[in-house]
Amino acid sequence: MTARRKPSAEERDAIIIPLRPRTEPRWWDDDRARHLRDRPEYCPHCGGSIIGDGGIAVEYWEAENRIYHCWCRDCGWAGDIIRVERMIGHEPEH
Ligand SMILES: [Zn+2]
């Protein structure tokens, strides 16, 4: 496993530069900004960065759920990450 550092702000901006100059707002700008804001940045298995060339975080939807399918280049982990607003669990009796 190779430890990855968090990309600098300049490196992160370089990753998301649009392919062509933007002259006016596009209908998907809000979704794009939300995707970039909410996407997982670190592997839940090893903690390596999964943005840029460290892996992938592809968003898809099931009903109202936003799901990020992620893959980590460092450890090979792949899986889905779902953001939840509230989680109700149980604690086993001691
Ligand atoms: Zn990993």
Q: Residue 35: which of 70, 77, 11 has the closest Cα?
A: 70
What are the structural domain ranges in the chain? 27-82
**In the prediction, which pLDDT does 39 show?**
93
Distance CA 11, CA 16 (A): 9
Spacing, Cα 34 to ligand 1 middle (Å): 24
**In the prediction, which pLDDT does 1 show?**
58
Q: Residue 32: which of 45, 48, 16, 12 has the closest Cα?
A: 16
**In the prediction, which pLDDT does 80 show?**
97
Spacing, Cα 71 to ligand 1 middle (Å): 8
**In the prediction, which pLDDT does 16 show?**
63
Q: What is the pLDDT along the chain (94 residues), one digit of tens a residue?
A: 566 777 777 777 676 656 666 678 888 889 889 998 999 999 999 999 998 889 999 999 999 899 999 999 999 999 999 988 888 888 888 7
Spacing, Cα 3 to ligand 1 middle (Å): 9
